[in-house]
Structure formats: structure tokens, C-alpha cells
A and B are shown apart, each in its own frame.
Chain A
């Protein structure tokens, strides 16, 4: 097997707050191949974005700190690099797209200035050449009239167009890895379809690996090859999209799929809701973090934190003590189980 593009080992990123230490990412390990499109899914506070920020070197002490772990990118541990060395990787070989393009773009500079800044910083080119590259980058993301739009300011673009600019900026230096943090969450559904379609084609053509961070399992199903499901700072399950959607091994994944409304579902059955809410990251429960909300929890779940281990299909991993004995695939998700559980919240 060839060396993975990205290898994260036992990453722990904590934040110090007045109430205590927030364990936002707490011991996650995973790998990404070159060209892999990996979905990172989970609810708010599950640690998806902090994972991305850690990889990008955007966690700033003293507020936050990477306590342990290694982030090996193309053979190089990013956590051992100086800020200067990190600067050259950030935006160059690893690029990131954020949820809200309006806050990610500087309102007082033109789109062209901001695009060319990245290009000049990472590539040894003249200003005129940078301009050509910037125009081409805008054309690649299908912005009409690119050479004129270069002189426009962010407010002159619509939300979808701004996200296209962000993608152009992210891809302008041909990164090996693009991290997209909820890139379409702020957009309307028809615009989302345009943007995801565009990202899929660009990533496929260039062989760019993409880490897609999202809470939307629908978007992942159409875009990614692999998925990791996060919950309360840990990875609870990972595998190919086929594994995760058709053969979930963790009760949280299973519950999440069951609680989704589906466009192609003509029945108006009760949704399987996962009772309660995610735990506080300051006071995590003993044992399995999903245990307080899990309808299958037993004594061992209360005592021992389950580790991510191979289970289910080849290559699939889950962090559940009971994966083998629970035949989640066979359990009907729309049954009364969920209905009963949903009554006892809080």
C-alpha cells in the first residue's frame, strides 16, 4: 500500500474555558488516501470543525491547544513545523473553504486582489501571471465574465457566486487536500446542487483529496467515497459510504439515519429520534459517550470507553462494544423503539 496523504494519530485538541477544559477532539485517528473524498459527519459540537482547524494549524494557544497526537501530511508531521513552514502549506498544499463566504472574504479588497494574494504567496510568479491564473481560476468555477468580475468586491456577488470564488481561491494553488467545512450549509438547495456538482468535477479532474465536513448525510451520499461519523469529540464509525448507509455498526449512525426525513419516503411514519442531547464536552460521561442516549446500552458501556475497531464489512470500523451482537441492519428504524425513547428527553 502506498503512503497515505494524511495520517492523523490520537489527536486531542482541548480548549480552556472558565467552566473547565472542553475536550473538543479527544483521541481521533484516521487516514486519507490521495484523491479520496472523505465525509466527516456529526452534529454540532461533535468535533468536526476542530479536527479541520487542527489540521490547518489554526488552533491558537492559549485558548486552544493540541495536547497530543500527530498529523502527518505527505510524510511530514505538521505539528512539528514552524509557523513559517506551516504558512507555506496552508493555502498551498492544503486549502480550506468555510461555511460563510461573506466572513471569509475581506469586504474592502476586490476578489482579484484576494485571489492574487494567495497565488503570489505560494507560487513564484509575477503579478501579471498571477492575474492570468486568477482569471483562469474564476473561469474554472464557471463565473461568467471572469476578467471583469476580478475587479468586483465581495458584496457584488451572490451567496452562491461567493462560494464559487472561495472554491477558486482554494483550488488556485492546486492543493493536494481541500478541506470544505459545511460549504453549502448557508446556500439554497438549488445553489447547493450547483456547488457540489462543481466541486465534484474539479476534484475528480485534478485528483484533489477532499475532506467534506457536514451535518447533511444526503450531501455526503452523493459526493464522498468514505465517511467518518463523529460524536462528542470521537470517531464512532468509519467506512465506505456503502458500509455506513447500508450496514451501520454503531447505534449512533443507525439512529442518525433513522431520524432523517427523506425526499423519497412516501410514508409519514414516526421518525426514529435519538432521545436527549449530546453531552457537555467538559463533563463527558464515563464509558461510552453515546451511552446516555443509547437504547442498547448495558453495564460494560457504562464502564469502558469503546475503541474504534474493525467490525462489519472489511475496512469498516466502529467504536461500540455491542456491534457484533446487535444486528442493526435488521432492526427496523421506524419502529416503536424510537417513539418510546423520544418521550423521555431532558
Chain B
């Protein structure tokens, strides 16, 4: 990544290209991880393309759900968007709040990144691993404020108490340690920390996957309330398609590093067009015995191929019930807009209701 213009130079050229209602645009994002051999003299022998040339945008105030099975690249995409991982290629344009500047996160320099990170935050999956057990709740939630040098010590403590209330905890909890809290409460602490700097955009990386059902509902309700009150924009990463339907405005389905289908939530669930979306939706159980008794599942053959050696052509062709030889195993399908705002990457798309 040399010879790239600074973030400031780039945004001038691209500002016009980002429609006003768009908060973030991912353009041709690629992320490769090297496969090395040898202990002392590491030699690169190949690469895993975890994210393989994907593009999408997130509109202001919406929740974009990013779903897929393990290894599909959804978390890697999220981390590249925040530049917690260095993208191998592509751009991530982000509209900053104050002066409506557009910054390319993928190439921004350190100082720019530090500035815009106030506006973009992340909530992690595991509330046990993401909170430092040696720190009090007050110091955990105040840490972003300290890092960005916001307020005096007293002001920060006030802010912490306010934040704890916002996420449904009590201000008295400030002096306790993470181990004194249940999983759901810990996740609330993680959310309070993410809110500390008043971000406009949040990545929620499987925020409820580690929680029990009744607690999941508490956290999902909290996330929806916060979005409404604070006008937040969410990128919601999950493998649970029921949760994603509940929380998202639009949904992107990923398979082996590529977007298979991207559509408005109702269109994706009621009129899915990609065979992988069909199989995925048909596999999700519905908690109603009458419905389950009548359903027929599309059972896929085999397992997800290794991303180190993805299939040629359409990456899904090896497991696809509709794959045609000479087409699907040769040509990579483009993500095309087949209906208004409904994008599908398939040579033989077909609307099919699966439940």
C-alpha cells in the first residue's frame, strides 16, 4: 500500500460519489491472509482470500445485517470496515459527522483514523473476553474518553454513570468488576463503552450469540431503543437468520468471501432468489411444531469448501442444486440488481418462498 494519496486528497474526488443518505460505502474490498510455511524463515506459499471483492453501502440510520456461516468472511469484512484489519484492496468510504467529510478508511493515515474512530465503534460477541477483568466498570466505560482525552476526571465519571443508565444498568455498578455481572449485563457494559464517544456508526459483531434466549431479547431491545434515540447506524453481523430479520432493514448474505444476495429485509426473506439463500432459510428451524411438520428442507450436500482453495466460477456451484456444468463452474456470477434494490449473484436466479 504505497503511493496512495492521503485520505484528505481522496475524499475530495469521491465526495460527490456518495449519495447523501449513505453513511458508508465498501468498494471492491479484498482481504487476503497469507499462508506461510516454516518457523524461522517464513515463506508465503499461498493466500486465503477471506473477503473477495465485495461492495455494498450502509445508509444513514439503517441496520444492515450481514449473515453467513462460519468462514464466510462476515467478521473479516467488519474488521476491515473499522480497519482493525488492514484491507488488501478496495476502499471504505465513511461520512464523518461534523463537517460531512468523506474519508477513505482503507487508506487513511494514522491521525485521520484516530479522529474518525470516535465516530465508529464495535461491540464484540463474547462479553467475557472483551472486558478486562482487572478493571472496574467505571474505568472500562471511561477508557475511550481517556484515550481521546475528553473531559476531566469528574466529568468522565458523570458520563460513565449516565451511560450505565442508558444501557439499563445502575450508576452504583460503576465500582464493580466484570466478574460480578451476568453475561447479559456484561454485554450492556460493552455497549456503554461503545457509546461513550457518541458514535454515529456501530459494528455489532454477533452481540447476542453468546447469550441465553431471554437475555438475547433484552439486548436486542436495547440496541433497537438506542438506535431510535440516538439515530445510530448499525452493521449487524450474525449467523442467526431469525435475529437478523428482527433487527435489520436490509440484509446481505455472504458465502465464501462473496456476497450472494443483498436486499431489503422482507424481499430477502419472502422472495429470496439465490439458491444459497434458499437453503440457508430453509434450514432455520421455526419454534412452531405445526409449521415444522409441514416444512421441507433443502439439504445441501457436503460441507463448505476451504477458502484457501475456493471452487472456480460460482463459489457455491459445488453444493448448488441448480448448478449447470460449463456455466456455473466457469463464470463468476456478478452481483446484479434484478429487482429494485434486490441484488443477486447467480446465473439462474429464481424467486422461491421457502417457509
Contacts and interface: CB of A to CB of B under 8 A. Distances in A.
Interface of A: 43-44, 158, 160-161, 188-194, 196-197, 215-222, 241-242, 245-246, 255-266, 268, 270-275, 277, 338-339, 342-343, 345-346
Interface stretch (B51-59, B75-83, B101-109, B239-247): B239-247
A197 B283 CA distance: 10
Contacts of B213: 43, 215, 217, 256, 259-260
Contacts of B15: none
Given A193-B297, A345-B184, A346-B168, A264 B303 contact: no
B234 interface: no
Nearest to B184: A277
B221 A270 contact: yes
A259 B283 CA distance: 21
Interface string B310-330: 000000000000000000000
B294 to A, nearest CB: 10
Contacts of B158: none
Given A193-B299, A218-B287, A261-B246, A273 B217 contact: yes
A217 B287 contact: yes
A188 B285 contact: no
A257 B220 CA distance: 15
A133 to B, nearest CB: 25
Contacts of B300: 190, 194
B218 A263 contact: no
B217 A274 contact: yes
B215 A346 contact: no
A263 B184 CA distance: 23
Given A193-B299, A345-B185, A273 B218 contact: yes
A262 B221 contact: no
A190 B280 contact: yes
Contact of A255 (B214, B221, B266, B285): B214
Contacts of B132: none
Interface in B309-355: 355
B94 interface: no
Contacts of A218: 242, 284-287, 292
Contacts of A255: 214
B212 A189 contact: no
B286 A194 contact: no
Contact of A277 (B215, B283, B287, B291): B215
Interface of B is mostly: helix
B242 to A, nearest CB: 4
Given A266-B266, A271-B220, A259 B286 contact: no
Given A191-B303, A215-B213, A221-B288, 11 more contacts: A193-B297, A221-B285, A259-B214, A262-B287, A263-B241, A264-B355, A268-B246, A271-B221, A273-B215, A342-B222, A345-B185
A219 B287 CA distance: 7
Contact of A189 (B221, B247, B280, B287): B280
A341 B345 CA distance: 44
B243 A261 contact: yes
A190 B245 contact: no
Given A222-B285, A263-B281, A345-B184, A189 B241 contact: yes
Interface string B62-75: 00000001100000
B6 interface: no
A190 B260 CA distance: 16
B283 A271 contact: no
Contacts of A215: 212-213
A234 to B, nearest CB: 17
Most B CB contacts (10 A, CB to CB) among A194, A220, A222 go to: A222
